[in-house]
Amino acid sequence: MEEFRPEIVSFHFGLPDQVLVRRVKAAGSKVISSATTVAEAVWLEDNGVDAVIAMGYEAGGHRGNFLTHDMATQVGTMALVPQVVDAVDVPVIAAGGIADGRGVAAAIMLGASAVQVGTAYLFTPEAKIAEVHLTAIEAAGDDDTAVTNVMTGRPARGVINRLMKELGPLTEIAPDFPTAASALAPLKAAAEAVCKDHFTNLWAGQSARLSPRLGSEELTRRLSDEALAVIAKFSFR
């Protein structure tokens, strides 16, 4: 980080040791990290982040949770974003289930300063995801994903596959993060060789079906233009 001095460094699962965070900030980078509850957002602010990502339960990929490990009480984006906005003074970035301009506009209405979109970018040609992953997300509807710990040992949202169905989606016997993934690697490779997604991380959020099929630049412009159009529609003066 000190060598390349990126403008922003984004952490997940809380923050590393304070000494390291201070060094990243001293190199001139802004530090951001994900919160899945108000308590995590306040902790991140107290520990020096420049902005908080409010990551709702709809989001694809690993949950950013670090103070709580209870998946039954994780909060949806619509409820999380305004409560985090009320609780912290730093800017809030909304994440989870946002895949078109309506979602961006809604997040801004809830007080977010920006949005972080993941799943919609998986459909862009720039995303080099496995063929079985692309096939799974292209077919995924609103209720085809679940939060599981069987793939890596930490809870993450992905399209439901055979392993999640047979062992999970959540189980106490999953090996600790990230060792579950290495144990699965040979099975994953063998299954993918015959186009089966039984052991592949099919990370995706609940809004896969909303995602327009565009290149990443066009998608970014579309999200912004559509959001501005939605907001303009409700500006009566």
CB 107 within 8 Å of CB 94: yes
The contact mask relative to ligand FMN for 24-63 (x = CB under 6 A, - = no) is ----------x--------------------x--xxxx--
Q: Is 75 in the site for ligand FMN (CB under 6 A)?
A: no
Considering only residues 82, 118, 168, 169, which one is a binding residue for ligand FMN as defined by CB under 6 A? 118
Using the structure block, give the residue that is written with the tokens 């909060």.
Answer: 75
Considering only residues 119, 124, 149, 152, which one is a binding residue for ligand FMN as defined by CB under 6 A? 119
Q: Is 9 in the site for ligand FMN (CB under 6 A)?
A: no
Q: 206 or 232: whose CB is closer to ligand FMN?
A: 206
Min CB(86)–ligand FMN separation in Å: 21
CB 52 within 8 Å of CB 45: yes
- Please count the residues of the chain: 237
Considering only residues 9, 24, 117, 136, which one is a binding residue for ligand FMN as defined by CB under 6 A? 117
Q: 88 or 120: whose CB is closer to ligand FMN?
A: 120
Q: Is 103 in the site for ligand FMN (CB under 6 A)?
A: no
Considering only residues 203, 219, 223, 227, which one is a binding residue for ligand FMN as defined by CB under 6 A? 203
Single out the segment in contact with ligand FMN by CB under 6 A; choices: 140-148, 191-199, 200-208, 222-230: 200-208
Which residues here bind ligand FMN, judged by CB under 6 A?
10, 12, 34, 55, 58-61, 95-98, 116-119, 122, 203-205, 207
